[in-house]
Amino acid sequence: MIRNLLKITTVYLNTRFQKTTADIRQATVQASLRRVRPCLMITATTLIALIPVLTASGRGLDIMVPMAIPTIGGMLFEVITMLVVPVLFCWREENRLPRQKPEG
């Protein structure tokens, strides 16, 4: 899931870049807006589906809860990654700009 997000965001950003900082930031925002909704929908449905597992009592509880807790942690890590990766990508591309030779 995260690998797919990174690939799609990177390809989209690489095709949208011009040569200025404003263009890089605009492309990053557009790519992020494009990917935020699907990732949040997947994360929300997974977390909602795990709520009954965490609040259940009865047979199989000793197996299900230890499996649900890391899954919830993974989903929270995915949300953090979804918010941080575009910022880091934008920062990296902006740092590359001064090193590029001027056009002309």
pLDDT of res. 100: 54
Instruction: Name which of 78, 60, 54 is nearest 4 in CA terms.
Output: 78
pLDDT of res. 103: 60
Ramachandran angles phi, psi of 53, nearest 5°: -65, -40
CA distance 55 to 49: 11
Strand, helix or coil at 104?
coil
The model's pTM is: 0.60
Question: In Å, what is the CA distance from 90 to each residue of 22, 44, 60, 99?
Answer: 10, 26, 46, 15
**Residue pLDDT tens, the chain, 104 long:** 667 666 666 766 666 555 678 877 888 888 888 888 888 888 899 999 988 888 888 888 888 888 888 988 988 898 888 888 888 888 888 888 765 565 65
CA atoms within 13 A on the CB side of 91: 5
Burial 64-74 (b: 16+ CB within 10 A, else e): beeebeeebee
pLDDT of res. 48: 92
Q: Are 9 and 89 in contact (CB under 8 A)?
A: yes
pLDDT of res. 11: 67
Ramachandran angles phi, psi of 50, nearest 5°: -85, -15
pLDDT of res. 102: 57
pLDDT of res. 1: 65
